[in-house]
Structure 1
């Protein structure tokens, strides 16, 4: 397995260069968080198929056209009747060592459990064949969904972004409880999420 960079320098340092090729990553975050900044970096670091299940393709493309790197990102609209087929077709077109982003995976999780499990199996095989990376944006909250545990079980890497308001400060901590093929973080990583992703070096005030 080759380490594929995430595009976020602090994570690549922590993970010895990146995430093992062929991995499925679940990025769990609050809907009102800045988690899309993390997706943005993951999508820009190499050729990417970005599958959107909620936002329009135009909205996603607008957010990814800030520089020339976005030219390597193809946005697929999976808001129609068969999002599973759209996502798998995009995965079939994945270039070698490419990335596929599913934003968000919630509408797929809410479907039939057997169909969702089969989808994850097919997605894993296609990503593994390409030595690429799959990123599932798994938003928290809303109705409890039994299929979220399936997402977490299948995922090789789980990024759990926790956002809290402390006094006058918004604090973002990234917890990595699961990392197959590597070492999970022993402690939460405090991130600064504004218009980019960086390490937050400010001290916590009790």
Structure 2
């Protein structure tokens, strides 16, 4: 087994006694209108990454990486085929309906795609799913639970790290509880305050199975290229 895996945020690594454990599943829970993906980019710079996009095409994800300033470590972007589009996800949020036409149709099961991607992991990497919401709204609770179990086993086998970005909404996905049960560690990110010159983000760690318990709420400073913990706000 390799040692602890860095989060890319030194002050957070110190609070976690070195970082995250190989084989961990991390659930990053955040409203969609936050800079939560900056945390993903920070972790990506620590080791090779398989980035699975469930809503956006590869070109859109790559543009975000480029705008961020690029990723310094090798990565591969995969998408879950012709599944739920961003337009379709918006329709669901507004109506609660999964009845789509045209390009918004659910044509393939994204869980099958994710299962294949997980099965391809052969060495220690990050496996990022952005976001997990469409998977948490699938047709079969048992199938989603089975996929999470397979993911956990594969991560442990290869000393890898899994990160599931879980957007919050008024209508939470029905399988969100399974995600949080399977997760070894949960990060909750939210906006605390917004001013003309600053947005203050807060990070809470309500769950860290088998690891250091962090009881403090951490203030995050999220810039265009880096994420740091702003200890000055605690003074």
Q: TM-score, normalised by structure 2?
A: 0.80
The alignment status of 1:103 with 2:167, answered yes or no, reads: no
Instruction: Report which stretch shifted further, 156-165 or 1-10.
Output: 1-10
Instruction: Report which stretch shifted further, 81-90 or 173-182.
Output: 81-90
| Counterpart for residue 94 of structure 1 | 121
Match of 1:164 among 172, 192, 195: 192
- Work out the CA distance in 2 between the residues paired with 1:170 and 1:187: 19
The alignment status of 1:69 with 2:72, answered yes or no, reads: yes
Larger radius of gyration: 2
Q: TM-score, normalised by structure 1?
A: 0.91
- Work out the CA distance in 2 between the residues paired with 1:22 and 1:30: 26
Aligned length in residues: 204
Instruction: Report which stretch shifted further, 33-42 or 8-17.
Output: 8-17
CA separation of 1:197 and 1:57: change in aligned 2, threshold 3 A: same
How far the C-alpha of 1:50 sits from its partner, in A, is 0.3
- What's the CA shift string for 1:2-50, capped at 9, x where partnerless? 3111112221111111100011000000100000100111122101100
**Unaligned residue ranges in structure 1 (runs of 5+):** none
How far the C-alpha of 1:109 sits from its partner, in A, is 0.1
**Unaligned residue ranges in structure 2 (runs of 5+):** 83-107
Give the number of the structure whose residues are more often strand, by fraction: 1
SS at match of 2:111: helix
CA separation of 1:199 and 1:93: change in aligned 2, threshold 3 A: same
CA separation of 1:51 and 1:97: change in aligned 2, threshold 3 A: same
